[in-house]
Structure 1
Amino acid sequence: PEELTNALEISNIVFTSLFALEMLLKVLVYGPFGYIKNPYNIFDGIIVVISVWEIVGQQGGGLSVLRTFRLMRVLKLVRFMPALQRQLVVLMKTMDNVATFCMLLMLFIFIFSILGMHLFGCKFASERDGDTLPDRKNFDSLLWAIVTVFQILTQEDWNKVLYNGMASTSSWAALYFIALMTFGNYVLFNLLVAILVEGFQTEEISKREEASGQLSCIQLPVDSSGP
């Protein structure tokens, strides 16, 4: 409804103005260099700049795509939620292991894409009015093979791709998709879950060791009075 849209736009302008005022006051209090020392202030500043840019661009008739960045304002609540902030810190610490997992996933997708091109290349097609029309999910090129393999890993309409593979070649083609689903969904993605769980366990162990170290540093008063 138009009334709801207008209310949303007015709310956007009001909250953006409040955030901009907050940013200006922080810059005046802490100074420019003191303001940017805090990563949360940098994040807030980026959100404010994007929001102002979106409002100005909207009045000029463009930049409506920047509206999606309004959702990033929800992340401003992280500073007021210590539990969520701690979880995000743990996720950031596991980024090196996650990067290794992403490289392994890319290699896995590449291998199965090449194998799919050899097995099903130029075979996912249908005849229509005398013309051969390739199916949208095909293995005719490396790009579309990667897209198809990624779609199968997300389990989006993967059974149709399985049926096309079996119909265009033989029933043994199901082994390719079974192997892809088994190693992709039940091995690789469980490996990602294991990496995240290990990160949380490591953080919990470090917290316990830190707490025990602080307790060991506490010296109990010694009673110097003799009998």
Structure 2
Amino acid sequence: MRSSENLSKFVMDIRFNRFITALIIFNAVLIGLETFPTIYQEYHTYFVIIDLIILAIFTLEVILKIIVLKKRFFTNGWNIFDFVIVLGSLILYSTPFVSVLRIFRVLRVFRTITTIPTLRRIVAALFMAVPTISSVLLIMTIIFYVYAILGTSFYGDISPEYFGDIFLSFVTLFQIFTLESWASGIFRPIFAEEPWSWLYFLSFIVIATFIMINLIVGEIVNNAQKITDDFEEEAEEIKDDTSEIKELRKEIREIKEMLQK
């Protein structure tokens, strides 16, 4: 019983969590260094040995968590994510599927999210915003479609390389949406021949880029704030429970002292 409690304290200890986080960051740096051919070829053996050690530590971490948490381990999505990455890395390590193994090795970097609570809250906020984002994306698709038809109709003859058909118009509108070289490359040549074209381009940028993106960002920020508020409420409840327990212990102590007298 004592040994299981000690193991649980060790696995759940913040210092152990920080060590795993540091190891994940080190692993990320290592994977980045492997992209330099000269460094990787010269120190190939060291890279392989260090990677095996890191994988062994990650495997041990998952095993220890399963021992401590038992069935509860698989009720947490982040734990399942860690388990799949580690298991995938172990299965594929000595197989010819090198490209798939590389994907699993790179995915280890995402384990940073599982070890840092603030990052988990941001990701949770992002997933909470999915229904709203889906609605916004649907509206954006309609806007893109309408503007693609208008662009093909109005500017197909003037600039066929950008608005020759609806598919080219979609690609062009996406470039305008990203604000990448839209003025000099797309807008000005058309504007030189069609002075009223500025209405088309500016209205699309205002509606699609500014309004829609702000809607998505606003929804994510609201969800992040909601999660933070919930977290603070839970923290306050824990504090209240802790203070009540302290009061009860104090009262029990006083009763014991009275009985001893």
TM-score (norm 2): 0.62
* 1:205, distance to aligned residue in structure 2 (A): 4.5
2:85 is the counterpart of 1:47: yes
RMSD over equivalenced CA pairs, Å: 3.5
Give the one of 10, 19, 31 matched to 2:58: 19
**2:139 aligns to what SS in structure 1?**
helix
Give the one of 212, 227, 247 matched to 1:203: 227
Question: Which residue in the other structure is 1:37 paired with?
Answer: 75
1:43–1:205 distance in 2 versus 1, CA, 3 Å: closer
Seq. identity, %: 26
Name the amino acid aligned to 1:199: N
Question: Which residue in the other structure is 2:13 paired with?
Answer: none
Number of aligned residue pairs = 205
Q: Output aligned runs, 1:172-211, within 5 Å.
A: 172-207=196-231
* 1:3, distance to aligned residue in structure 2 (A): 1.9
Partner Cα distance (2:73, 2:237) in 1 = 34
Partner Cα distance (1:212, 1:46) in 2 = 35
**1:156 aligns to what SS in structure 2?**
coil
Gaps of at least 5 residues in structure 1 are 126-134, 222-227
- Contact 2:121 / 2:227 at 8 angstroms: preserved in 1? no
* 1:38, distance to aligned residue in structure 2 (A): 3.0
Question: Which residue in the other structure is 2:159 paired with?
Answer: 124
Question: Which residue in the other structure is 2:186 paired with?
Answer: 161
* 1:11, distance to aligned residue in structure 2 (A): 3.5
Partner Cα distance (2:239, 2:59) in 1 = 44
TM-score (norm 1): 0.70
Partner Cα distance (1:187, 1:106) in 2 = 14
Q: Output aligned runs, 1:128-167, within 5 Å.
A: 135=161, 138-159=162-183, 160-167=185-192
Q: Which structure has the highest helix share of the two? A: 2
Question: Which residue in the other structure is 1:130 paired with?
Answer: none
Moved more, 154-163 or 199-208: 199-208
1:12–1:204 distance in 2 versus 1, CA, 3 Å: closer
Name the amino acid aligned to 1:144: L
Bigger relative contact order (CA 8 A; separation at least 6): 2
- Contact 2:177 / 2:209 at 8 angstroms: preserved in 1? yes
Partner Cα distance (2:165, 2:144) in 1 = 14
Question: Which residue in the other structure is 2:35 paired with?
Answer: none
Give the one of 139, 142, 148 matched to 1:107: 142
2:137 is the counterpart of 1:98: no
Question: Which residue in the other structure is 2:9 paired with?
Answer: none
Partner Cα distance (2:44, 2:191) in 1 = 50
* 1:180, distance to aligned residue in structure 2 (A): 1.4
* 1:39, distance to aligned residue in structure 2 (A): 1.9
